[in-house]
Structure 1
Amino acid sequence: MPPGPITRIMVMGPPGSGKSTLARMLGERLGLPVHHADALFHDPGWVARPREDFIADMVAIAAQPAWVIDGNYSGAHYGPAIADRLARAERIILLDLPRRVTIPRILRRVARHHGQQRPDSAAGCPERLDWAFLGYCWQWRRAVRPGILRVLAGVEDRVIWFRRSPGLDRVLADMDSLGLRLSSG
């Protein structure tokens, strides 16, 4: 029996890898609702929401029958927020791009949207130059990536790994080549 259509997709990777853009494009093409973890994580002013509230929201979204969710939040502190997503995701796309690609993208994003709220950000969180965030981005590959790879170790059969920026057609073709039926939207 062929598998049903893909209706639950995670998009992971470092800041500036294109997670939100790819998630939006997948949602539009496949007719799936898109959820940005960063938008759920922050209250206005870039203040982290209470851990329990963020986890409850992520668990509730993961329980829905259809979604594209971009974002990581894979550390032990937010473990339940990723556990349900991983358990239910039919495909996990890892955009494993190097910082020579991601850092310039982040700087361009800040320049383009400075003082404005991006569609994938929480309400009241305008784009800004944040040195602590840039430091996090610079260290992501060494400090965060190993944890992401550990989390994904048990679900390799559902991971599509990109080390270069893929276009939407490439992502869909790779999903299709795995014998998956994509939802028609």
Structure 2
Amino acid sequence: MKKILLIGSGGAGKSTLAKQLGKKLSIPVYHLDTIFWKPGWTPSDQEMFRSEVEELMAEDEWIIDGNFRSTMDSRLQQCDTVIFLHYPRWTCLRRAVKRRFMYHGKSRPDMTEGCEEKIDIDFLKWIYFYNDRHAPEILEKLRQSNIENVIILKSPSKTAKWLSSVSSS
């Protein structure tokens, strides 16, 4: 595991797991939200965003967390490991709401400074329908890929168990 893609619904804990795994493996971690969003929730130019992601993927080792369809295929082609947090919708919704209260009035550590934590109906709908609308496409891409290592984790407890089994060597 040298080039790791971490994907899943909002609220699943991608950024938290990315940081934990990065520390354990001594691999740099990149959060796509931090790259894409500029202060005040201003989106990046798509070409600049793709270019920045391509530069990161040229490195020898990385953990990149985030979904972002616009770069998904190229990230799937470059990674040697995919970790898909495929959690139940209620787990993700609960965690997203909890996160909103934890970071009320401030930016999360894995988010661009100046992007205060927020939650809106569109984000809640995206999480609610993620397993119905987005996960099937991702699972199909993973089935068709030649990725060496695909890890699908279906609950926070299974994720914790898996992380404890990961060796730093």
TM-score exceeds 0.5: yes
1:35-54 to 2 correspondences below 5 Å: 35-54=30-49
Gap regions ≥5 residues in structure 1:
1-5, 177-181
Aligned to 1:19: 14
Q: Secondary structure at the match of 2:16?
A: helix
Post-superposition Cα deviations, 1:41-80, rounded to whole Å, max 9, x if no partner, equal 1111112211111111111111110111111113xxx1xx
Q: TM-score, normalised by structure 2?
A: 0.90
- Counterpart of 2:101, as a letter, is A
Q: TM-score, normalised by structure 1?
A: 0.83
Separation in structure 1 between the aligned mates of residue 133 and residue 36 of structure 2, nearest angstrom:
20
Separation in structure 1 between the aligned mates of residue 19 and residue 13 of structure 2, nearest angstrom:
10
Aligned to 1:161: 152
Is the 1:25–1:168 contact (alpha carbons within 8 Å) kept by the matching residues of 2?
no
Q: Secondary structure at the match of 1:94?
A: strand
1:36-115 to 2 correspondences below 5 Å: 36-74=31-69, 78=70, 81-115=71-105
Separation in structure 1 between the aligned mates of residue 132 and residue 42 of structure 2, nearest angstrom:
25
Change beyond 3 A, Cα 1:157–1:65? closer
State how many pairs are aligned: 167
Shift of 1:150: 2.7
Q: Secondary structure at the match of 1:93?
A: strand
Shift of 1:38: 1.2
Is the 2:9–2:85 contact (alpha carbons within 8 Å) kept by the matching residues of 1?
yes
Gap regions ≥5 residues in structure 2:
none
Aligned to 1:131: 121
Separation in structure 2 between the aligned mates of residue 170 and residue 133 of structure 1, nearest angstrom:
28
**Amino-acid identity (%):** 33
- 2:21 matches 1:34: no
Separation in structure 2 between the aligned mates of residue 90 and residue 19 of structure 1, nearest angstrom:
17
Is the 1:38–1:121 contact (alpha carbons within 8 Å) kept by the matching residues of 2?
yes
Q: Name the Cα RMSD after superposition.
A: 1.8
Q: Secondary structure at the match of 1:121?
A: coil
Shift of 1:147: 2.2
Is the 1:103–1:138 contact (alpha carbons within 8 Å) kept by the matching residues of 2?
yes
